[in-house]
Structure 1
C-alpha cells in the first residue's frame, strides 16, 4: 500500500511531512473546506506526487491549478460525470494521474463505477457524509467485498492510527487496494498535521510491506 496525506496547508508543516516521504500529498482547492489551500507549495522530494483535490470545479480551473502547482495527480471529489472525466483526461498531460472519488455507505451501488473505469486511473472510496470529504468517520469496509472491478483504489474516510491494524488486515485480501488516504485524524487542527502520528503511520505501512515479503 501507498500513503496519501491529504489536506496540507502550512509551508513549514508541508516540509516536515514531506521529509517523511509519503507517496502522495493532497492540497484541497475547494473554497468551502477548512483546509482550503491558496498558498505556495515549497519544494518537495520528487517522489511525492502533489495531488490537487477539486469539488465540481471547471476543467479550466483544474488545468490552471495543475500548471500553477505542478500537480502530478488530480482528485475529483464531487459529482463529476463520466463525460467530464473523459474531457479532463483528454486535456491534461498524460503523466498526471486522475482519481475519481465515490462516497460510500452500506447501500452503495458498485454498478455506478463501470462507466468510470476507462476515464480515471484510480477510484477513491470515502465515507458518505454531510461534506464531500473530511467527515472523520469510517464506512463499513465489508461492503468492499462486493467490489466488482480490478481497478486499483484508494481507501479513505476517518482512518487514524487506531484503524491501521484493520487496514493491514483488509490489505491481505484480494481487493486491489492501492493506497490509503489519511487526513483529519492526523491533525492538530485543520490543515496542520501531527508529525509524530504521520511518522507512526509510515512506519506501520513500511513494516507491513516487509512482513508481506
Structure 2
C-alpha cells in the first residue's frame, strides 16, 4: 500500500517531509484552500510522485501547472465530468496519472463512478464535508463493501495515528486499496506538516506492510 502526504505548502517543510520518502506528495492549486500552494516546489527524489490538486479548474490551468511544477499526477477534487476527464487525459502526457475524487457518506451511490473507470487511473474516496478536502474527519469505511469496481483507489479523510488499526483491518478485505492519503491530522497549521509525527506514522505504516 502506498502513502500520499497531501496539502504541502512551504519549501523547507516540503524537503523535510520529502526526506521521509512517501510515494506521493500533494500540492493544492485551488486558491480558496488554506493549503494553497503558491510557492516554488523544490526538487524531490524521483521516487516521489508530485500530485497537483485541482477543484473545478480549467484544463488550461491544469496543464500549465503540470508543466510548471513537473507534476506526475493530477487529482480532480471537484465536480469534473467524465467528458472533462477524457479530454484532459488526451492532452496530458501518457505517463501523468489522473486521480478522480469522490466525497463519500452513508448515502454515496457507487454506480456514479462506473463511467469514470476508463478515463482515470485511480479513484480517491474522501469524507463529504463543507470543504472539498481537508475537513479532518473520516467517513464510515464499511460503505466501501459496496465498492463494485476493480479500479484501485486512495483512501482519504481525516486519517491520523489512531486510524492505523482500522487501515490494517480494511486492508484484509478484497478491496483494491492502492494508497492511504494523509493531510490535516499531521499539521502544525494548514500546509505545515509535523515531520516527527509523520515520521512515526510512516515507520508504523511501513512495518505493517499492508
Q: Who is 2:103 aligned against?
A: 103
Mapped to 2, the partners of 1:168 and 1:44 lie a distance apart of: 29
Query: Deviation at 1:208?
Result: 1.1
In the alignment, the residues of structure 2 paired with residue 107 and residue 11 of structure 1 have an alpha-carbon distance, to the nearest angstrom, of 39
In structure 2, the residue matched to 1:150 is 150
CA distance in 1, matches of 2:12, 2:43: 11
| Cα displacement (A) at 1:165 | 1.1
Unaligned runs of 5+ in 2: none
**Aligned length in residues:** 210
Q: Name the residue aligned to 1:81.
A: 81
2:89 is paired with a residue of what secondary structure? helix
Partner residue of 2:34? 34
Task: Show CA shifts across 1:93-135 (max 9, x none).
Answer: 0010000000000000000010000000000000000100001
Q: How far 1:204 moved relative to its partner?
A: 1.4
CA distance in 1, matches of 2:105, 2:207: 30
Aligned positions of 1:36-185 closer than 5 A: 36-185=36-185
Q: Where in structure 1 do 4 or more consecutive aligned residues deviate above 3 Å?
A: none
Calculate the TM-score normalised by the size of structure 1: 0.98
Q: Quote the offset at 1:43 in angstroms.
A: 1.3
Indicate the residue corresponding to 1:203 in structure 2: 203
Q: CA deviation at 1:164?
A: 1.1
Please report the RMSD computed on the Cα atoms of aligned residues, expressed in angstroms. 0.7
Q: Within 1, Cα distance between the matches of 2:60 and 2:43?
A: 25
Q: Corresponding residue for 2:187?
A: 187
TM-score by length of 2: 0.99
Say which SS state the counterpart of residue 143 (structure 1) adopts: helix
| Counterpart Cα distance in 1 of 2:204 and 2:82 | 36
Partner SS, residue 15 of structure 1: helix
Distance in structure 2 (CA, Å) of the matches to 1:139 and 1:162: 14
